Structure 1
Amino acid sequence: MRVLVAGLGVSGFPVAAHLAEREAQVTVVDGNTTRDESERIRILEVFDVDVRRGPEHVSALPQPAGGGAFDLVVTSPGWRPDSPVIAGARAAGIPVIGEVELAWRVRGANDAPWLVVTGTNGKTTTTTMLASMLDAAGLRTRACGNIGDPLLEAVLDPDLDVLAIELSSFQLHWQFSMGAHAAVVLNIADDHLDWHGGAHAYRADKGRAYENVARACVYNVDDPATRSLVEDADVVEGARAIGFTLGIPGPGEVGVVEDVLVDRAYIPQRYSSAAELGGLEDVAHAVGMDAPGPHHIADALAAAALARSVDVPTGAVRDGLRRHAPGEHRSRLVAEAEEVRWIDDSKATNPHAAAAALAACDPVVWIAGGLLKGADVDELVAQAVPRLRAVVLIGEDRSALRAALEEHAPDTPVAEVVVDSSADGADPRRGEDVAARAVELAGSFAQPGDTVLLAPAAASMDQFRDYRTRGEMFGAAVRSRLGGTAPATGG
């Protein structure tokens, strides 16, 4: 086959290498020439892969080296459906798939069940909690997909018992035949609408996680949209709908009774009793916080529901939570000094995630802003008003946040970090300057008992390389402000 691989990154490279090993004629195109990809290119050249880098190679659908047309296009998740290469392929009738679809097709003898996690927020925390529970049960597993190892590498590992797979809406968009053993859509809120072309298309792509599920479709009782996706899915006969809730669960659900996580879904006596899965103190330990937020508890319940679908014992759910290490830049305590807590939630890249972070802080000095990706922040700001001590705005899309604050919180102090818009966004000094100014302003507002929270509700690429860099620079600025006397912490 003549295969075009769109992208030379974390997803594209293993796809190209694997297909070339299978003796496909592979061409890779990537418009980005700033990254150092020399090592990957050298490896691909060993397999006679034709690597073409530069914007001129992605302005239209290319041709194979020998002429003719490609038989298949495998796209990396970040490539929009309307990009010239992808749109050109579809117009020419060439099948376009992603890494998830390819991995499902080539998994061969590896029958390790797929446990799939998606949703607008909480995917990474839920997936790593799930992997920790599986490991505590003695199962050989990997956290893979949108985090950890590339999915294609994981499915070709014959020694794994089960896969814990995080999938983004971008990845799900290009899959067509996957049949997970169990899957969860944690929540649904508007995000990436510019990429998907609207809210309906975004939700439909999230719902692809439920298609062909064999054992359990796990949904959020408190988010009816997720149940609707289950009801619309075409699943294997016998698959069950399993709800998770922060309240007392009914039969067929997992939930919370007082301070105990319980299962009324996978036990024979589910109509009359419940099995204990752990306590809220275990969730607190898992996320490195004294008091876990509602979203942390929901993530733990969703992970437990998936783990129980492969018969993980209740004790392993508890042990997995206790062994779990908190994720980077997700509600991480950077420092605490003079009775002020500094929290890094740089991974809150949309309003829904920022709302969850804000709900766990009161009062709060909120650092927000960046690239909003078409999201509406009006409801987010309106809900946050009672908690706000002050707001520090960063990023290009400050105007929408400023307008919402003027309407809903006219008495809340607001400061803005303004930098030279002509500066190179890839220059790390620009991000360092933004972080330092934001921390200085936030510190001037904070009072004893307050939390300074970086939860931008927006993407980072206008002023930082990515959300990780944004979080790292925020942490460095905090420690610099505190004179290095308060070490980074995170449980």
Structure 2
Amino acid sequence: MDAQDVSRVVVAGLGVSGTAAARGLALGGERVVVVEQSDRPLPDDLADLGVEKAAGLPDKVELVVTSPGWRPDHPLLLEAAAAGIEVIGEVELAWRLRHEGAAPWLALTGTNGKTTAVRMLTSILEKAGERPLAVGNVGTPIIEAVLDPGDTTVLAVELSSFQLHWSSSVAPAAAAILNVAPDHIDWHGSFEEYAAAKARIFANAGVVVHNADDPWSARLAEPYDSVGFTLQVPRPGELGVVEDLLVDRAFCDDPRTSAVELATLADVKPFAPHNVANALAAAALARSFGVPAEAVREGLAAFTPDPHRIAHVATVKGVSYVDDSKATNPHAAGASLAAYGSIVWVAGGQLKGADVEELVARSAKRLRGAVLLGADRARIAEALARHAPDVPVVEVAGEDTGVMDRVVTEAARLASPGDTVLLAPAGASLDMFANYGARGDAFARAVRTLEER
């Protein structure tokens, strides 16, 4: 048969997941064509496997595997759909390529807290004697873990709404939704579509885990016989908090009359209400997998948070400086603001279509001042003027590397001993920084410069 008559699989995008998908498909004998929007060259190892590169959709395509960064309304994806060509993502592809007896998936999603919760879960599983691997939207590309599992016994899978949008048959052993709040509206087109993408994680799950304190997580779990987690005293079938203890009334001998102690609040690091919820979600997934209670405590106690997540930078003249640059949307910023009582708020960036009115109204009583930067700082300033008119606000213009120094200087001027200067931007960082990590690093450097004065 002429090679031109062989059907192709198109991989849209040469990012981390796209490159991994192209490699896995080529190793499996598929004829792979990569469509890339930039001038990024084809990696040598893909070229050696016979992978081709094209500017648009070629002829004789049987499947399109899209990268998470490509929006559903991209012309190539619309063209494929119109032609009756199936479009899936790397996560769905990985599920279809699993070998018999493959490691089960414990999956979670949410607007915020995904990476923290999945790393907590991994730590708990390790203490239980498993050989887990964190994959998906964190750590190793999931297709690499599936095609070359090594001695992995269970996958802790973090899934974004982008990845879930293109997934239909993924069936984790257990799945959790941490929370759902407006985010990525520009990608999904509406909040309802965003929530519907999150809900896909429950469709084929063996055990469904929801946040009983989060209206949308609970709503999306309604069609299922699910396990809840809550920061309140748990009912039968839930995990929750009793005084200073994390307890399980779902995966125990008699949930009606007894509970199993899992850990203490002191075992959760860094301590904040939303982080306790992350710990309970991780515990629920682990307990559904048969992990003993003592491994939950040991895993949480051993867990080391990733950088830029409510990380204490320094205390200068009685004022604490905290880096939560990972709070890239209003929901995350709200959780961070709720953890402190007297705050000079450093905020701004790209709001991605999200509304900050509720966030500002809910947090106004905690604010002693605000310093705003970035592309959408004016929208936050307007909300502050409406809901916190007595709070002093400083807007710092500019996109140069010295902006954060000026921001921290202004925040220090507004703060008094006992206050917390909190970087919880509520927006993405790409208007000024390479990523949220670079933004947090700039904040920390500016604080240390302040400390040395």
| CA distance in 2 between partners of 1:244 and 1:231 (Å) | 14
1:419 aligns with 2:425: no
- Within the alignment, does 1:337 sit opposite 2:339 as a pair? no
Report the equivalent of 2:215. Answer: 224
**3-state secondary structure, aligned to 2:61:** coil
Aligned counterpart for 2:369 among listed residues 374, 378, 390? 390
- Residue in 2 that maps onto 1:145: 136
- Match of residue 46 from structure 1: 48
TM-score (structure 1 length as normaliser)? 0.88
What is the CA–CA distance in structure 1 between the aligned matches of 2:32 and 2:352, rounded to whole Å?
33
In the alignment, which of 288, 294, 310 is matched to residue 315 of structure 1? Answer: 294
Any gaps of 5 or more consecutive residues in structure 2? 1-6
The 8 Å contact of residues 348 and 354 in structure 1, kept in 2 or not, is answered as yes
Please name the residue that 1:245 is paired with. Answer: 230
In the alignment, the residues of structure 2 paired with residue 88 and residue 465 of structure 1 have an alpha-carbon distance, to the nearest angstrom, of: 32
Specify the SS of the correspondent of 1:143.
strand
User: Which amino acid letter does the alignment assign opposite residue 109 of structure 2?
Assistant: T
Q: 1:10 touches 1:150 (CA, 8 Å); kept in 2?
A: yes
Residue identity in the other structure for 2:245: V
Structure-1 separation of matches of 2:234 and 2:222: 20
1:62 pairs with 2:57? yes
Q: Which residue of 2 aligns with 1:237?
A: none
Q: Distance in 2 between matches of 1:327 and 1:159?
A: 25
> Structure 1 residue 231: deviation in Å?
2.3
Equivalences for residues 10-409 of structure 1 within 5 A: 10-33=16-39, 41-52=43-54, 57=55, 61-63=56-58, 68-156=59-147, 157-214=149-206, 216-232=207-223, 240-283=225-268, 286-287=269-270, 292-409=271-388
Structure 1 residue 449 corresponds to structure 2 residue 444: no
Whole-angstrom CA distance in 1 between matches of 2:133 and 2:322: 29
Distance 2:247 2:129 in 1: 21
CA-based RMSD of the aligned residues comes to 1.4
Give the secondary-structure state (helix, strand or coil) at the position aligned to 1:20.
helix
Distance apart, 1:281 and its partner CA: 0.5
Following superposition, the deviation at residue 74 of structure 1 comes to: 0.5
Q: Deviations over 1:312-348 (max 9, x none)?
A: 0000000000110111211111122221111111111
Matched-pair contact (CA < 8 Å) for 1:110–1:158: no
Cα distance in 1 for partners of 2:354, 2:101 equals 40
Q: Once the 2 structures are TM-superposed, how far is the Cα of residue 408 of structure 1 from its aligned partner?
A: 0.8
1:110 Cα deviation (Å)?
4.1
Equivalent pair of 1:365/1:453 in contact (CA under 8 Å): yes
Segments of 5+ residues of structure 1 without an aligned counterpart are: 234-239, 421-429, 485-491
How far apart, in 1, do the equivalents of 2:14 and 2:405 lie?
33
- TM-score by length of structure 2 reads 0.96
Aligned sequence identity (%) = 53
Q: Is the 1:110–1:155 contact (alpha carbons within 8 Å) kept by the matching residues of 2?
A: no
Say which SS state the counterpart of residue 175 (structure 1) adopts.
Answer: coil
**CA offset digits 1:195-235 (Å, max 9, x no partner):** 11101111110000001111x211111113212212236xx
* In structure 1, C-alpha distance between the alignment counterparts of 2:380 and 2:218, rounded to whole Å: 31
- Aligned match of 1:426: none
Distance in 1 separating the partners of 2:349 and 2:360: 15
Residues 384-409 of structure 1, C-alpha deviation per residue, up to 9 Å, x if partnerless?
A: 11111110111111221111111111
Distance in 2 separating the partners of 1:346 and 1:154: 29
